[in-house]
Amino acid sequence: MPYRNLMAVYDGTPQADELLDMMCSIARPERAQFTILYVRLVPLAEPLPVYQAGVDPQMDAFVAQAEKLAEKRGVKAASAVRYGRTLGGAVLAEARVCGVDLLAMLAPDAEALQTQGGLGTDIENVLRKATCAVIICRPKE
């Protein structure tokens, strides 16, 4: 069964560029809709902003960089920006809103998971609660 609506979580790293490349190779032959999600974590003490182009230069740069990469690979991608308290919660919310049937995100290496326990929890949360297929890609050494 072909995937019709794909989403990749993007953070601007070279590993995320490779993840986009892989997802473009899946989206292109199927002419699938492709959403690139950018997540900025916000502490509980701060209100959650709503993204507006031109207000957050770092997010604007991520959007431009990822859309350019997808375009080079022959895929027209939509961008979604979410501010959230946890990575997993933001990813799951956007996947449901977009009706995603294949989600891809990067996982840190095993050492990073031990020292940054929250990110491991986010990945577990996505794997348990996602209503679509999920690809977790491990960065190259």
Burial class (CB in 10 A: 0-12, 13-18, 19+), 37: buried
d(CA 83, CA 112): 23
* 38 three-class SS: strand
- pLDDT for 123: 86
Q: What is the mean pLDDT of the chain?
A: 87
**Prediction pTM value:** 0.85
Alpha carbon dihedral 8, 95, 83, 59, in 10-degree steps, equals 30
Each residue of 28-58: pLDDT tens digit? 998 899 999 999 999 999 999 888 888 889 8
The 10s digit of each residue's pLDDT in 64-122 is: 888 898 899 889 899 999 999 999 999 999 999 999 999 999 986 655 555 555 457 88
pLDDT tens-digit readout, 3-19: 999 999 998 888 989 99
Quote the domain boundaries for residue 61.
Answer: 5-137
CATH number for 44: 3.40.50.620
3-state secondary structure of 102: strand
Tally of domains in the chain: 1
